[in-house]
Structure 1
Amino acid sequence: MAWRRARAIFFCMAAALAMAVGAGWPPSVSAQVANFHPCNAQPSLPICLHGYGRRIAVQRWGATPEPLDPDAVAKAPLVTRDPAGEIEKLKSTTAFVQDMDTSEVLFARDADVVRPIASLVKLMTALVVVEAGLPMDETIVIDASDVDVPSELPSRLAAGARLSRADLLHLALASSENSAAHALGRTYPGGMTAFVEAMNARAAALGMGDSRFVEPIGLSNENVSTARDLARLVHAASRQPLIGEFTTDAKYSIDGRTFRNTNMLVGRPRWDILASKTGTTREAGDCLVMMVRLGGRNLAMVLLNAQGMSGSRFGDAVRLRRVLDSRMAAK
């Protein structure tokens, strides 16, 4: 019996390796190696070239993480003597900064290009839930449809978990939990169809004429918007105290588990963030929206489709802040 079991294991392992080779994985790497992933040996594979693909590789198979953008580190300086050089270093396809009190646009690059926006959608999800006046202490049970959303990253919430609507909102905003966002939409009066209709109605009311929402999570590429529209959204969201509180909470613990904010700028000294949300998919790239208080002004900052090293969207926020600070100091 022992030799039969050993032979079966051998053939299973051989079949797994053959599948890996057939999928384009390097044949010189053994699938038995701890933390095996093709990105470790063949970084030119498509999944390894994009920040989202790399993140999947790191979390699922232990691939070597990307280096962190040096301008995204905690000790990165917030001043510059070369604003033009900072602009040249921006990694985001779209970048937009607007004073929301005066409507003055302080920086714009491709501000009106319609793009997928990934989990930035969750800001609209939160806005609809909060403005509907739904009871935040109501208990909601996570069901299979919440957990089985088509994400490459597994849910940290299990089917059958019981959480308050406030807990779900907190998790959807701070740590971008997909299952939490889905549960918020599913339990909206009238169900998911009514919720999506409410999202689009709210977008129209905000003047987001180039935006469209099809679900509350952000996994669909049919959720689209522009940087100019997203500035309106994050501004409206920042006016809701609960959204401001949850999106600027560095970490949140529930049932003995700690969930951390996906915005690494939250909680840093000299960053007065009023509201924020991150988003990441292959098609949308790495995205970031924030309402920040800078130089006595309330600024909406939007960065879409950041490429390059890990944390480039946060590095871009630092680079834009250097540019803005230099301009304000010159006045």
Structure 2
Amino acid sequence: MIRSAGFLAWTVLLFVQVSSASAIEKAELNRTELQLASVNAAVAYADADELLYDKNADRPVPIASITKLMTALVVMKSGEPLTEWLEFRERHIPAPANAYTRIRVRSELRRADVLRIALMSSENFAAYTLARHHPGGYNAFVEAMNVQARELGMTNTTFVDPTGLSAENRSTAADLVRLVRAASEYPQIREYSTTRYFTGRFRQPRYRLAFGNTNALVHRDSWGVGVSKTGYLSEAGRCLVMLAEIDGRPVVTVLLDSLGTRSPMGDAGRIKRWLTTGAGGSVAAAAKAYERKKNAAYASSDSTSVSVN
């Protein structure tokens, strides 16, 4: 697979030769050992094509604000200046779900910072505003998201809005591994998505707003997080995708549809332990019950779709 110079440089920077004593090198990882609370998941080295672990990795499901990682990729590929001031315009279409925001309509912020708060703080009005200012407008932006998905080989992915507020934004864990790899090629996406805290300085009128990262793991130096995005909708559950250094290698983790705000963090910890020691850990009974319920719902939805078609 061809990688860009930026991605390769970052991978080389992270990659450290693992000694023969490493748990990864000593024995083949046992996939059955890894227990995750997330209903759908995928784990892969960033510099290799195959999945190290998959759990319903080819099942298309709602992805909530993980969508914003594709929004960021389209913004970067557009080549529009990051220094340009963008106006936060009143929505021309209703938001698909609750879209509370502290940002004032008609105020302005530079595109770079609009992108930053969309990624790090999952600001929905920011993601919407990026699409409104795309060449060709909002609809052209959404189309560009789908074109980019096809170019990346994300064959089970569909986008209908740039925020992730619509449950019709659907993808698979395997497809999202491809998205994380592509997004990691851009230093700006790596920086903006892992910014811990940020103060946005708006103008017309002039005011400030403080933002924090929605992924607690970016605050821990031991994780070496290089790309991060969280997401939540009732239809999607708790979601997390990230690129992090584990045992000296960049690892892509995709966790979709978890129960509770802490479940993706717990899963990330279990994956890290599995990759470094081979031990997969265990999950709570409530998470297992949630998984059974969601798998039954997915199966019912699939069978209904088949009968209709």
Q: TM class by shorter-chain length?
A: 0.7 to 0.9
Per-residue CA distance 1:4-48 (angstroms, 9 max, x = gap):
xxxxxxxxxxxxxxxxxxxxxxxxxxxxxxxxxxxxxxxxxxxxx
1:150-299 → structure 2 map (5 Å cutoff) = 150-255=96-201, 256-299=208-251
User: Which residue of structure 2 lines up, in the alignment, with residue 32 of structure 1?
Assistant: none
Per-residue CA distance 1:43-72 (angstroms, 9 max, x = gap):
xxxxxxxxxxxxxxxxxxxxxxxxxxxxxx
CA distance in 2, matches of 1:86, 1:167: 42
User: Which residue of structure 1 lines up, in the alignment, with residue 78 of structure 2?
Assistant: 132
Per-residue CA distance 1:168-208 (angstroms, 9 max, x = gap):
10110000000000000011010111111111111111000
Q: Which has the larger radius of gyration?
A: 1
RMSD between aligned residues: 2.1
CA shift, 1:96, in A, is 1.0
Q: Which runs of 5+ in 2 are unaligned?
A: 1-22, 24-29, 202-207, 280-309
CA shift, 1:257, in A, is 2.1
CA distance in 2, matches of 1:148, 1:259: 24
CA distance in 1, matches of 2:211, 2:246: 28
CA distance in 1, matches of 2:115, 2:265: 23
CA shift, 1:116, in A, is 0.5
CA shift, 1:85, in A, is 10
User: Given the superposition, is the C-alpha separation of residues 139 and 327 from structure 1 closer, same or farther in structure 2, using an over 3 Å criterion?
Assistant: same
1:15-164 → structure 2 map (5 Å cutoff) = 87-88=34-35, 90-145=36-91, 149-164=95-110
CA distance in 2, matches of 1:202, 1:147: 23
User: Given the superposition, is the C-alpha separation of residues 180 and 146 from structure 1 closer, same or farther in structure 2, using an over 3 Å criterion?
Assistant: farther
Per-residue CA distance 1:93-139 (angstroms, 9 max, x = gap):
01210112122322111111110000000000000001111011111
Which runs of 4 or more aligned residues in structure 1 lie more than 6 Å from their structure 2 counterparts after TM superposition?
A: 83-86
CA shift, 1:299, in A, is 1.3
Secondary structure in structure 2 of the residue aligned to 1:274: strand
CA distance in 2, matches of 1:162, 1:313: 34
CA distance in 1, matches of 2:139, 2:270: 40
Secondary structure in structure 2 of the residue aligned to 1:143: coil
Structure 1 residue 301 and structure 2 residue 253: aligned?
yes
CA distance in 1, matches of 2:188, 2:53: 29
* Paired residues of 1:86 and 1:320 also in contact (CA < 8 A): no
CA shift, 1:269, in A, is 2.7
* Paired residues of 1:149 and 1:179 also in contact (CA < 8 A): no
* Paired residues of 1:93 and 1:304 also in contact (CA < 8 A): yes
User: Given the superposition, is the C-alpha separation of residues 251 and 85 from structure 1 closer, same or farther in structure 2, using an over 3 Å criterion?
Assistant: farther
Q: Which runs of 5+ in 1 are unaligned?
A: 1-78
User: Which residue of structure 1 lines up, in the alignment, with residue 267 of structure 2?
Assistant: 316
CA distance in 2, matches of 1:221, 1:150: 8
Structure 1 residue 325 and structure 2 residue 276: aligned?
yes
CA distance in 1, matches of 2:254, 2:150: 19
CA distance in 1, matches of 2:269, 2:140: 39
User: Which residue of structure 2 lines up, in the alignment, with residue 48 of structure 1?
Assistant: none
CA shift, 1:149, in A, is 2.7
* Paired residues of 1:147 and 1:158 also in contact (CA < 8 A): no
What count of residue pairs does the alignment treat as equivalent? 245
Q: TM-score, normalised by structure 2?
A: 0.75
One-letter amino acid of the structure 2 residue matched with residue 213 of structure 1: F
* Paired residues of 2:88 and 2:105 also in contact (CA < 8 A): yes
CA distance in 1, matches of 2:252, 2:264: 15
User: Given the superposition, is the C-alpha separation of residues 129 and 289 from structure 1 closer, same or farther in structure 2, using an over 3 Å criterion?
Assistant: same
CA distance in 2, matches of 1:202, 1:154: 28
